[in-house]
Amino acid sequence: MEKHHIESYLSEEEVVERIKELGAQISKDYEGKTVHLICVLKGGSFFMCELAKRITVPVTLDFMSVSSYGGGTSSSGVIKIVKDLDETLEGRDVIIIEDIIDSGRTLSHLMELLSKRNPNSMKLCTLLDKPDRRVVDVHVDYTGYSIPDEFVVGYGLDYDQMYRNLPYIGIVKFD
Ligand code: IMP
Ligand code: MG
Instruction: Give the predicted TM-score (pTM) of the model.
Output: 0.95
**Does the beta carbon of 102 lie inside 6 Å of ligand 1?**
yes
Task: Please tell me if the CB atom of residue 6 comes closer than 6 angstroms to any atom of ligand 1.
Answer: no
Average pLDDT over residues 69-91: 80
* Residue 69 pLDDT level (bands cut at 50, 70, 90): low
Domain-located, residue 157? no
Question: Which residues constitute the domain of residue 23?
Answer: 11-150
156 located within any domain: no
Query: At 72, is the pLDDT very low, low, confident or very high (cuts 50, 70, 90)?
Result: low
Number of domains, the chain: 1
| Residue 66 backbone phi and psi in degrees, to 5 | -125, 155
Q: Among 157, 163, 169, which is best to mutate for testing ligand 1, by the most ligand atoms less than 8 A from CB?
A: 157
Q: Cα separation of 2 and 8, whole Å?
A: 19
The CATH code of the domain that includes 53 is 3.40.50.2020
- Average pLDDT rounded to a whole number, residues 83-91: 98
